């Protein structure tokens, strides 16, 4: 339980509602900032105006998936008020407080480092990344279906990268009957893909494996689907790039060659905001609880 702990939830989209719900369920004292247009009434929750004074007693500050922009502005889907996180806000937090977000921009990282406040980027945690790979793979399938005139069953699919997202993507495609090649960079990934009945190859040989591909899913966050690779692909192929912006595809060359290439970031929040919110809420509440327990034991 989070009894006796104070949590500030600042801005966000539908995912934050799951976080509000979870914190309230676990008996935290919850303060909401940037939720003035929210009709949903949560019991025992205080809507407040963001100020350094009100942040002084917080044990945790929860920001949206993308914490702030490069100027410190926080996305607020449920408010028309512009919220900006400044030095004064972070400086006011107690030293044990934790700031949570999905993925931070340099602005937020610098601010937290400056005031020695721990910043937790949820999307980089293994458990969150693995859970998030489920809505990501489902979203990628949705895009594949919308952009092809063949079934995925029986099609020739390729997944580049065999990490947390790539493995789930490959297994999902295999599960609905696609023929799946997996581009890897390590012998242990090669062995695992082989064990799963997938067709692994090393991405150093990517060019020679793309000749017959219908759907190419990329999870490698660096330029991998180069002009040379695209030149070897059939015109019917569709590239779905899941890697974080700017992706790993030469989009300009794909367009020139008439190959459809789609950059598809943020799929969990788009296709399954409730599940995505729950994944974040579960992980955050576990971390806040463990931290409170550690501090209690140290007292």
Residues that bind ligand NAP (CB under 6 A): 129, 132, 136, 161-166, 183-186, 203, 219-221, 224, 242-244, 264-268
Min CB(79)–ligand NAP separation in Å: 25
Query: 3-state class of 239 per DSSP?
Result: strand
Selection from 148, 214, 138 nearest residue 180 by Cα: 214
Measured from the CB atom, the residue of 7 and 206 that comes closer to ligand NAP is: 206
Nearer to ligand NAP, 205 or 296 (CB): 205
Between 134 and 287, whose beta carbon lies closer to ligand NAP? Answer: 134
Region of 124 (left: φ > 0; alpha: ψ -120 to 50; beta: rest) is alpha
Kindly tell me which of 55 and 158 has the beta carbon lying closer to ligand NAP.
158
CA distances to 93, 143, 180, 191, 224 from 187, in Å: 46, 31, 18, 6, 19
Residue sitting closest to ligand NAP (CB): 163
In angstroms, give the least distance from the CB of 116 to ligand NAP. 27
Given a contact cutoff of 8 angstroms between Cβ atoms, the answer to whether 5 and 59 are in contact is yes
Min dist CB 186 to ligand NAP, Å, is 6
Q: Is the CB of 243 or the CB of 288 nearer to ligand NAP? A: 243
Burial of 196 (0-12, 13-18, 19+ CB in 10 A): middle
Nearest to 128 by CA among 294, 296, 287, 279: 279
DSSP state of 45: E
CB 269 to ligand NAP: min, Å: 8
Tell me how far, at minimum, the Cβ of 218 lies from ligand NAP, in Å.
Answer: 8
């Amino acid at each position: 339980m989070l009894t006796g702990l104070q949590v500030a939830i600042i801005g966000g989209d539908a995912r934050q509602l799951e976080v509000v719900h979870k914190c309230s369920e676990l008996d935290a004292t919850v303060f909401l900032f940037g939720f003035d247009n929210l009709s949903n009434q949560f019991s025992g929750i205080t809507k407040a105006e963001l100020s350094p004074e009100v942040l002084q007693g917080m044990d945790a500050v929860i920001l949206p998936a993308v914490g702030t922009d490069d100027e410190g502005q926080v996305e607020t889907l449920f408010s028309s008020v512009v919220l900006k996180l400044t030095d004064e806000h972070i400086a006011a937090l107690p030293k044990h407080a934790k700031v949570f977000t999905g993925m931070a921009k340099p602005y937020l990282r610098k601010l937290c480092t400056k005031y020695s406040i721990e910043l937790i980027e949820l999307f980089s945690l293994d458990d969150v990344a693995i859970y998030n790979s489920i809505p990501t793979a489902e979203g990628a399938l949705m895009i594949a279906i919308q952009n092809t005139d063949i079934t995925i069953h029986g099609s020739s699919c390729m997944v580049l990268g065999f990490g947390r997202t790539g493995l789930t993507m490959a297994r999902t495609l295999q599960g609905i009957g696609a023929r799946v090649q997996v581009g890897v960079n390590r012998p242990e990934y090669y062995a695992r893909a082989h064990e799963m009945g997938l067709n692994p190859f090393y991405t150093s040989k990517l060019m020679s494996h793309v000749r017959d591909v219908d759907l190419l899913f990329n999870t490698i966050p660096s330029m991998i689907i180069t002009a040379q690779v695209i030149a070897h692909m059939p015109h019917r192929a569709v590239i779905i790039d899941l890697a974080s912006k700017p992706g790993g595809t030469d989009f300009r060359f794909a367009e020139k060659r008439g190959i459809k290439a789609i950059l598809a970031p943020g799929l969990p929040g788009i296709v399954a905001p409730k599940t995505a919110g729950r994944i974040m809420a579960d992980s955050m509440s576990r971390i806040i609880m463990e931290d409170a327990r550690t501090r209690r034991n140290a007292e």
